Structure 1
């Protein structure tokens, strides 16, 4: 007979990792400026980022759970393995480095070296790229939203009039792309 785990036992490692991350953010504050003010500033930023990451992760987990139900076991495993690798390392490490490499016209290894050795210059390049990054992110999000709103198979409408009218065009392949390009 298998023994049931308590709900708290599932939180053990996430709490440990969160605590270690917050300690490291405080340490980084001390190493950067050697003041308690910096320690608390870095700790505050770390706490806000952790809370934001947790909130977004919960939201993403709900979406993923709904998709996982429809998948075969092999595709569930692939989704969980590769999806997590892409989400965690791809979007948080590889993607920002690729942005800097592209906008600074340097190779990815030089961009990674820049991130580790000259964070001010790396930040400056990211800041200069803000408009392009925001345009890409906004375009991606509006396309995801439109795909949801014009889905002919869904049963609940959030914005009834708008969604019903959009759904009339939903059978046209690529409609959301054309709408975004307008």
Structure 2
């Protein structure tokens, strides 16, 4: 089971480390390894949320996300995206941006690749911070049968009955960040609004088409859905347009999670090749494998508070991104916040299983959706 799930990630890791060794010697090898570990620690909560959404997708769309989606994550967000940001910010063409990146200039020196990317950090942080904040708020304002941090989750769920509360809270947070943290408040406001709108549009369209799919299957109860159309719980699985928008939602979500890692990587090395190897090939591949593992094992159903822990980690990451508009946040601290929330949620889940044995066990694993890639 372990090799079946993590085999490709381990193979890609070995290949990436060997490439880094030949490219820049042992120093590049160590930096590549550090970046890979950093990306995995920062993105574990990403994998938990990915798995939760992936369970709602048909088998075909699961395969598309775990293949095409990973290629987008590796090459798009970890390689092309930084070049695009530098090109737009410095008014450079793609070739000029690539040439600037390959110069490996010191990020503290004006005009270098790392410096230009760092200068664009407020816009990136505002966009990613608002996208993740909206995701966190929509989760925390929704009533659930089981709560983790009951003393705060249940009151927030009751308050969340107010219509559009997540938009109001997100908007207030953006205004405060722009007013008190940003040097250029207009740029931060615009980027934050775009992040919020992106979340609302993509999440809304995905929910709309998924809801239509469930309604169709409920209406035609005598019709057996096609393979991958419904899961063990009897809920419809997203296909067609619903699957596409959930796929798009996951890609934007991955992009938002990647912002802090891509920017933070330049505090470790300005070399785009090492960053691509560490963040993209090692980090993104392990996030993919962890996602597959969580779906195959039915882990989110077995450990009931993991989803809660992941969303609290997302909320913390959103706050860190917004604060980082003005204050530099250590990447190790950012990674540890996610690890602490996920670890605490895991321990709470173990305690819950002891008190409620029927809540987890072999039957969950047997009913878990199968992901074959």
**Same fold by TM (over 0.5)?**
yes
Match of 2:37 among 41, 44, 51: 51
Could you list the per-position Cα deviations for residues 12-47 of structure 1 after superposition, in whole angstroms to 9, with x for gaps in the alignment?
4322321232233334443xxxxxxxx3x4333222
CA distance in 1, matches of 2:168, 2:72: 28
Q: Structure 1 residues 7 and 43 mapped into 2: Cα distance closer, same or farther (>3 Å)?
A: same
Match of 2:11 among 16, 30, 48: 16
Q: Structure 1 residues 172 and 134 mapped into 2: Cα distance closer, same or farther (>3 Å)?
A: closer
Could you list the per-position Cα deviations for residues 39-85 of structure 1 after superposition, in whole angstroms to 9, with x for gaps in the alignment?
3x433322221222334554433322221222233433443344323
**What are the ranges of 5 or more consecutive residues in structure 1 without an aligned counterpart?**
1-5, 31-38
Higher helix share: 1
State the number of aligned residues: 167
1:33 corresponds to: none
**What are the ranges of 5 or more consecutive residues in structure 2 without an aligned counterpart?**
106-111, 176-373
CA distance in 2, matches of 1:154, 1:93: 42
Q: Structure 1 residues 115 and 46 mapped into 2: Cα distance closer, same or farther (>3 Å)?
A: same
Instruction: Say what the alpha-carbon RMSD is for the aligned residues.
Output: 3.0
TM-score of the aligned structures, taking structure 1 as reference length: 0.71
Q: How does 1:87-106 map onto structure 2 within 5 Å?
A: 87-106=73-92
CA distance in 2, matches of 1:19, 1:139: 36
SS, match of residue 145 in structure 1: helix
CA distance in 1, matches of 2:155, 2:98: 45
Tell me: higher relative CO, structure 1 or 2? Use CA pairs within 8 A at least 6 residues apart.
2
CA distance in 1, matches of 2:37, 2:88: 31
1:113 corresponds to: 99
Match of 2:125 among 121, 126, 134: 134
What's the offset of the Cα at 1:10?
Answer: 4.3
Q: Does 1:145 align with 2:136?
A: yes
